[in-house]
Structure 1
Amino acid sequence: MRASVVFLLLCSSLVWGQPIPPTPFELEKKQSLPDSRTIGDYLTTLDTLSPRARLVALGTSAGGRPIQALLLSESPPFLRDFVGEPDKPTVMMFGSQHGNEPSGAEALQRLARELVAGEHPELLHRLNLVLVAMANPDGRDLRRRHNANDDNTNIDYVALQAGETRLLVEALHRFDPDVVFDAHESGIWKRVLTRELGWMTDVEAQFDVGNNPNIDGPLRDYTESKLLPELIARVSEAGLAAVRYRGEITSLDQAVSRGGLGITNLRNYAAMQGRVSILVENRLDNKGGTYATPRNIAERVRKQHLSMLAMLQLVADEAEPLLTVSRRARQQWQSAGAAGRTLWMGMSFDVNRDQPEITLPLVHFADGHQELHRFRNRDAIVTREPVTMAAAYAVTRERERVARWLASHHIAFETILEPRELLADRLEITEVRKQPEAQPGVREKVQPEVMVNREAVTLQRGDLLVPMSQPLAPLAALMLDPRSANALYQEEGWNWLQPGEFPVFPVVEY
């Protein structure tokens, strides 16, 4: 209550020319976290104070809390109509998709305050920003990972079961960012690694980019070979030890790889749309430690803020090549395979034969000393079942439900109005194998054995036809094809993978 009163008094004095007020978190001397309503009030204040800011409602969460985007730009057309500029990247930044990782929301508020106050002027001169400080306000207020319906929105980008995920997908199309930045925190205390074996991880900042092998080839090459190494170098030079993302280390005898390959997460989903997509996971400190602020929250926010600033400065410096590769990818996808039309239905991590082992630092829980440990390195991406992009996909089951799902993804489709004959590759599932354990890199629960039969097919009134001539064709194909490890049918509520002729299939000619 005291913080809210002080905050309102500060805001009311702004008309008399007082400086931009601190964030609610800063007002509390970084000793407690404000709730989502207080954060929303603060973003509204920034909107009111600056002609370079505009707060846009995206919708409401499962628990009825507002989800908003704060736009920051020197461009009136961008603020008014969300129109991008030929030579200026649009960067969309998400904080706290997981409610128990709060530092991203605080760092984005701090960044917004600084920009409204005139700090980092070169950034607004060179970039348009869309800041979604609280992607999961339910989790924020409930102090938990998921939303009020217990949905993990962070891995919902195929099924779009949660309203929050649908809102964020809609926002991607509304603002059409060239860059998507997703801020997370990663805990250093693990049940087996720490409690049973006595070690904690020791990573301050780890970064990854879209790594699904079906991402536009030139875009993936640019982000993987140029942008990611440069970002890691800049953050490290700024004093925060940064590395390429290595995933969760939960035991000394496990193998390590990278961030997941599947398109159920925002990083790969956005990259499959043709956007530069970056993940950061900063350190989430142990609950039992002794820090200047609760659970070292002030230091965690500092690290997130530093990571964000380094990313924005790099994007501004890389504007010309970044815009070239990202905007071309959004218009004309080109695979890394032969003739630029190859999709890989299967993928996983395997042993890196060039570097089969890797040495990583761990910290001894009892006395804090650091020690290097060797792990098996399984970060080589292995692909299987290459398929040439079809002319279209036909859908003959639960057509209204699929139509709503396609529309939520902004994937174009046609509803057949009268019987139409076409040449298709009918897919017959001959066997469905339940995976004994999760495949490294993807959430493939079952794997179908599929036989392909090319034949003439007659679509009936009400069937759907999804053309592969559209920009989102590779994304649509990976989600619709039952052979794909990223297929919709791997998701809860879509268990269509049963022996027999499959109701969704590629169309060769129509």
Structure 2
Amino acid sequence: MKISVAFLLLCSSLAWGRFVPPTPFELEKKQSLPDSRTIDAYLATLVTLSPRARLVVLGTSAGNRPIQALLLSASPSFLQHPANEPHKPTVMLFGSQHGNEPSGAEAMQQLARELVAGEHAALLGRLNLVLVVMSNPDGRDMSSRHNANDDNTNVDYVALQAGETRLLVDALHRFDPDVVFDAHESGIWKRVLTREQGWMTDVEAQFDMGNNPNIDGPLRDYTEGRLLPALIAGVSAAGLAATRYRGEITSLEQAVSRGGLGITNLRNYAAMQGRVSILVENRLDNKSGTYATPRNIAERVRKQHLSMLTMLQLVADEADPLLAVSRQARQRWVSADGDGRTLWMGVSFGTNRDKPEVTLPLVRFADGHKQLHRFRNRDAIVVREPVTLAAAYAVTRERERVARWLVQHHIAFETVAEPRELPADRLKITAVRKQPDARPGVREKVRAEVEVTRDAVTLQRGDLLVPMSQPLAPLAALMLDPRSANALYQEESWNWLQPGEFPVFPVVEY
């Protein structure tokens, strides 16, 4: 006799002494996706069923849809006044920043349902959870990567053009997570690789971390050397083949690298704040395939759920060493360089001289035949222009606009009240070079050639000083310095990179 999914879930909930209704997706027998309003209503229902859950409105999207965070914890104080607790990591999960990658949002609802029903009971005693189930509700309802204003919020963490990105940055500061987990899906069908060359990528679960070389050294070493390998091994042991993330494969002739190095994405932005930051990309199956559910959505949700649950269990087991490096990084940044104060303005990928080629699995589109293909390997991180972190940065142009932008990033600054003469490095742009359209790892559109002169500079009333003694100093410096591949001025609306003396510069002491 066939037993319905809803009945099985009911029995499971009753075994824990509490009835928790299936998610909207489960009620539809995994044949259709609920809209954002239905998901919001379900999250509100979960809160009514458990004293361990609270729903917090973060704000509204460009399309006037609410963006909410579901808090889950055994700690009443965390639910009411979220703050870090000793020996207990705060983990913040982001679902569906791209609205056309929906399985992360569904997996989070399933995970929330299970926790409210009493499953995985130990987790809520060991972790404080913040679930942003729909980071982009507009994209969810439109089945789009973008929001209602056509913003791709996933690469907006420097400019903060989109309201959604600003809300998520505010949430990072409000809940101050030790761990950030960003759930995505990766399409296996590519225009050139599949349609013209006949192959698809063969991935189940790919994981990456904040990998910008300017991330706090001990934090980056811990994540790359210990946590990420353990996560990949754990997911693989649970039956889902997992690997370290490789960049998009769109052609047999291309070189491959790793996930991008730029701080415009959440993964590197959060890590630059001193947080353990993990990305998962589970397989987004081909539209033309034949599956038990539309585009294999039930199986995709299962993979996302397994990836999330394995990550949470690992973080709970790793609580002590993880908290030590993450909380120390948020108090005092230490660069990976020997002096602990070096920032690398230039970052990119280059040829891995120790392993110039790599073999990766592909699947033939016509018949499903699996085959290994060799690719040039450009996953070596290349750095240039080392700069010692200054005492401060001075801003002398569009000061009110820059001040608003600094506030949005939660970066502290002061406004000069009276003229002040300070020793500083004047930055003169001598040339601006357009960069190749496709440079793996960065979004550096132009590169400024800069001449540096130590001089006394007089700041005027209303100029801004951004001290580099604050926890967000390395992040601020990378975004403010015109020599940086991650500078704000790479964004179209901040096109300040022109020959001549630059209006933002390092102050030696003040």
**Bucket of the pairwise TM-score, normalised by the shorter protein:** over 0.9
Once the two structures are superposed, residues 350-400 of structure 1 have per-residue CA deviations (whole angstroms, 9 ceiling, x without a partner) of 111111111110000000010000111110000000000000000000000
Once the two structures are superposed, residues 21-52 of structure 1 have per-residue CA deviations (whole angstroms, 9 ceiling, x without a partner) of 00000000000000000000000001111100
Q: What's 1:485 paired with?
A: 485
Within 1, Cα distance between the matches of 2:368 and 2:183?
27
Within 2, Cα distance between the matches of 1:294 and 1:307?
21
Amino acid at match of 2:56: V
Report how far residue 247 of structure 1 moved: 1.1
Q: Do the aligned residues in 2 keep the contact of 1:352 with 1:380 (CA within 8 Å)?
A: yes
Aligned residue for 1:428, secondary structure, equals: strand
Once the two structures are superposed, residues 68-104 of structure 1 have per-residue CA deviations (whole angstroms, 9 ceiling, x without a partner) of 0000000111000002211100000000000000000
Aligned residue for 2:493, secondary structure, equals: coil
Aligned residue for 2:200, secondary structure, equals: strand
1:53 is aligned to 2:53: yes
Q: What's 2:329 paired with?
A: 329
- In the alignment, structure 2 segments of 5+ residues that lack a partner are 1-5
Q: Do the aligned residues in 1 keep the contact of 2:18 with 2:117 (CA within 8 Å)?
A: no
Q: What's 1:192 paired with?
A: 192
Once the two structures are superposed, residues 301-350 of structure 1 have per-residue CA deviations (whole angstroms, 9 ceiling, x without a partner) of 00000000010000000000000000000000000113100000001101
Q: What's 1:369 paired with?
A: 369
Once the two structures are superposed, residues 265-322 of structure 1 have per-residue CA deviations (whole angstroms, 9 ceiling, x without a partner) of 0000000000000000000000000000000000000000000001000000000000
Amino acid at match of 1:262: G
1:98 is aligned to 2:101: no
Once the two structures are superposed, residues 437-474 of structure 1 have per-residue CA deviations (whole angstroms, 9 ceiling, x without a partner) of 23220000000000001100110010000000000000
Q: Do the aligned residues in 1 keep the contact of 2:57 with 2:68 (CA within 8 Å)?
A: yes
Q: What's 1:395 paired with?
A: 395
Within 2, Cα distance between the matches of 1:437 and 1:410?
32
Once the two structures are superposed, residues 94-115 of structure 1 have per-residue CA deviations (whole angstroms, 9 ceiling, x without a partner) of 0000000000000000000000
Amino acid at match of 2:234: R
Within 2, Cα distance between the matches of 1:46 and 1:463?
50
Aligned residue for 2:339, secondary structure, equals: helix
Within 2, Cα distance between the matches of 1:339 and 1:446?
29
Q: What's 1:115 paired with?
A: 115
Amino acid at match of 2:381: I
Q: What's 2:255 paired with?
A: 255
Within 1, Cα distance between the matches of 2:158 and 2:200?
33
Within 1, Cα distance between the matches of 2:135 and 2:60?
10
Aligned residue for 1:509, secondary structure, equals: coil
1:21 is aligned to 2:31: no
Q: Do the aligned residues in 1 keep the contact of 2:349 with 2:382 (CA within 8 Å)?
A: yes
1:338 is aligned to 2:338: yes
Report how far residue 129 of structure 1 moved: 0.1
Within 2, Cα distance between the matches of 1:373 and 1:490?
35
CA RMSD of aligned residues (A): 1.1
Report how far residue 18 of structure 1 moved: 6.4
Q: Do the aligned residues in 2 keep the contact of 1:438 with 1:445 (CA within 8 Å)?
A: no
| TM-score, length-scaled by structure 2 | 0.97
Q: How does 1:45-444 map to 2 (within 5 A)?
A: 45-444=45-444
Within 1, Cα distance between the matches of 2:499 and 2:287?
49
Within 2, Cα distance between the matches of 1:29 and 1:18?
22
Report how far residue 197 of structure 1 moved: 0.3
Report how far residue 495 of structure 1 moved: 0.1
Moved over 4 A (4+): none
Q: Do the aligned residues in 2 keep the contact of 1:360 with 1:373 (CA within 8 Å)?
A: yes
Report how far residue 119 of structure 1 moved: 0.2
Q: Do the aligned residues in 2 keep the contact of 1:389 with 1:468 (CA within 8 Å)?
A: yes
Report how far residue 492 of structure 1 moved: 1.7
Within 2, Cα distance between the matches of 1:489 and 1:202?
37
Within 2, Cα distance between the matches of 1:377 and 1:122?
42
Within 2, Cα distance between the matches of 1:299 and 1:492?
40
Amino acid at match of 1:175: F
- In the alignment, structure 1 segments of 5+ residues that lack a partner are 1-5
- Taking only the aligned residue pairs, the percentage that are identical comes to 85
Deviates further, 433-442 or 224-233: 433-442
Q: Do the aligned residues in 1 keep the contact of 2:186 with 2:283 (CA within 8 Å)?
A: yes
Q: What's 2:467 paired with?
A: 467
Within 2, Cα distance between the matches of 1:456 and 1:63?
49
Q: What's 2:3 paired with?
A: none
Amino acid at match of 1:213: P
Amino acid at match of 2:81: D
Q: Do the aligned residues in 1 keep the contact of 2:190 with 2:250 (CA within 8 Å)?
A: yes
Within 2, Cα distance between the matches of 1:18 and 1:85?
28
Flag the 1:399–1:192 CA change in 2: closer, same or farther, 3 A: same
Q: Do the aligned residues in 1 keep the contact of 2:115 with 2:121 (CA within 8 Å)?
A: yes
Q: What's 1:3 paired with?
A: none
Within 2, Cα distance between the matches of 1:144 and 1:411?
31
Amino acid at match of 2:49: L
Flag the 1:477–1:18 CA change in 2: closer, same or farther, 3 A: closer
Deviates further, 398-407 or 431-440: 431-440
Within 2, Cα distance between the matches of 1:198 and 1:427?
50
Within 2, Cα distance between the matches of 1:355 and 1:122?
43
Aligned residue for 2:428, secondary structure, equals: strand
Report how far residue 436 of structure 1 moved: 2.7
Within 2, Cα distance between the matches of 1:125 and 1:418?
53
Once the two structures are superposed, residues 206-230 of structure 1 have per-residue CA deviations (whole angstroms, 9 ceiling, x without a partner) of 0000000000000000001111111
Once the two structures are superposed, residues 388-437 of structure 1 have per-residue CA deviations (whole angstroms, 9 ceiling, x without a partner) of 00000000000000000000000000000110110000100000011132
Within 2, Cα distance between the matches of 1:473 and 1:219?
16
Aligned residue for 1:221, secondary structure, equals: helix
Q: Do the aligned residues in 2 keep the contact of 1:438 with 1:444 (CA within 8 Å)?
A: no
